Chains A and B, each alone.
Chain A
Amino acid sequence: MREHELELIAALAEGRLEDESEARAIIASSAEARAEFDAQKKAIEALADVGTASMSDTERSALRRDVWTELRAPEPAVGSGKPWYYRWMPVAAGMLVIIGLVAVVSQGGGLGGIVTADEAASETTLADTETTQAMAEELDGGDEAADGAPITEEPTDGEGESGEDGDLGQAVPPAAAAFYAAVADDIRSGEETEPQTRALETPSPSELAECLAEAGLEGYEVQDVNPAPDEGDREVPDAAVPYVAAIPVDADRTTTEVAFVGLETCELIHIDR
């Protein structure tokens, strides 16, 4: 059925045609048109007596009270919530201890090595604690610090700690990491410049922004959305989850890191650099 015919049928069902002859002729011409008219009319009639709703006086009072209460409440400090990397700190600390032990044992060996490893572990733990404290202080220090994108707030002063994304990279299976890397390459090469929309399941832009913020990625912009990973001829590993891919707003596209956030959980799942 052509668009014009459908519009005429809908207009007839809505009762807003002065001259109904053309519409009626269309309806008479096919069973499909007749069925369309019946469906439009049935829905319109069902909704006709629904009407707009209004609040009760109690609800209205509560609404106004709650809105003003909220507006008068002091704004929470931006970034006062714990950023995503807080949850990784114990893991990172543990890994640093293990790495320190392995490094020392592999170099020295024997009892002396173990003693040295303990010392190294102690030093590493201390260094990690200092880093943690520095990050906490940075967070407590005010809005400026909290406004920064967490990806760039990874520890920079600790040797061997450059693997903030490395930790995340290890968190996903190699096949999934390779898949995300391929998607990231597409984004860098400009092949994924528009979010891949799927009419009914794709989150709205505001939802995506909220999801990125939840993942600690404020200041990032969406590049690719896949509610159900399906990359055409690209094989999608089972471990890949529905994601939104984003890059820092002012980043150089060709070299930027690409962050992947799970659509179901709004948690950072991988960073490809």
Chain B
Amino acid sequence: MTTAAQEAELLARVVDGDHDAFTEIMRSHEDRVFSVCLRIMGNREQALDATQETFLTTFRKARQFKGNSALGTWIYRIAVNTCYDQLRKQKRRKTDPMPEHLDPADYSAEDAVDAAGVRPEIQDALGAIPEDFRVAVILSDIEGMGLPEVAEVLDIPVGTVKSRVFRGRRLLAKELGNQSV
């Protein structure tokens, strides 16, 4: 049985109310969803919230999955959109959109690595570049997705992904330069 067929069967079981099937999907994707959310949000607590929301949405929209992309790609797209939503809500609430270092959520930092698991200067530099570029760079250069997969996740053309990644790196380098890293 192909992976796509397995995924389709799993989702069909979820739609039929099979909780074990959904648990299986969660187990397969929760770490990567969390990782994507953590890099985008820059804060463990917010990333956990976004991860939870992602799986709730996945469950509720399971019926809408058409199988045009891999299940993982679909879930990461939900994750990215969830993070975008949460970032926008933060802006609406006029709170600081960027992470606080050493967030206390189950994190025992003992060195100069912050709650996002990234050196603070890198997290700060990532946080300083515009959202769209940041997300493209995160998916490509941190999560290791190929450009076509990034394009699928973000639902934009591959050429746009390239442009965002290249420009994002350029801006990141500039920010790192400003921080004299």
Q: Which residues of A contact B (CB under 8 A)?
A: 6-7, 10, 36, 38-40, 42-44, 46-48, 50-56, 58-60, 62-64, 66-68, 70-71, 199-200, 203-204, 206-207, 210, 264-266
Contact = CB atoms under 8 A, between A and B. Distances in A.
B63 interface: no
Interface of A is mostly: helix
Interface string B12-44: 000000010001001000111011001100001
Contacts of B166: 6, 10, 40
20 contacts: A6-B166, A10-B169, A40-B169, A42-B172, A42-B173, A43-B170, A44-B141, A48-B141, A50-B142, A53-B35, A59-B44, A59-B48, A59-B106, A63-B48, A63-B52, A64-B30, A67-B26, A200-B132, A204-B84, A210-B85
Nearest to B84: A204
B117 A53 contact: yes
Interface of B: 19, 23, 26, 30-32, 34-35, 38-39, 44, 48, 51-52, 55-56, 59, 81, 84-85, 88, 92, 105-107, 116-118, 122, 125, 130-132, 137, 141-144, 162, 165-166, 168-170, 172-174, 176-177, 181
B48 A55 contact: yes
A56 B166 CA distance: 33
Contacts of A265: 92
Contacts of A63: 30, 34, 48, 51-52, 55
Contact of B85 (A53, A56, A206): A206
Contacts of A38: 173
A52 B131 contact: no
B78 to A, nearest CB: 9
Contacts of A48: 141
A39 B170 contact: yes
Contact of A47 (B19, B30, B122, B162): B122
Contacts of A53: 34-35, 38-39, 116-117
B88 A52 contact: no
Given A40-B166, A70-B56, A210-B85, A64 B26 contact: yes
Given A43-B172, A47-B137, A50-B122, A62 B31 contact: no
Nearest to A56: B106
Nearest to A203: B88
A39 B31 contact: no
Contacts of A59: 34, 44, 48, 105-106
A40 B173 contact: yes
A6 B176 CA distance: 21
Contacts of A66: 52
Nearest to A43: B169
Nearest to B141: A47
A209 B39 CA distance: 25
Given A38-B173, A51-B142, A71-B56, A60 B88 contact: no
A206 to B, nearest CB: 5
A40 B142 CA distance: 14
A269 to B, nearest CB: 15
A55 B107 CA distance: 10
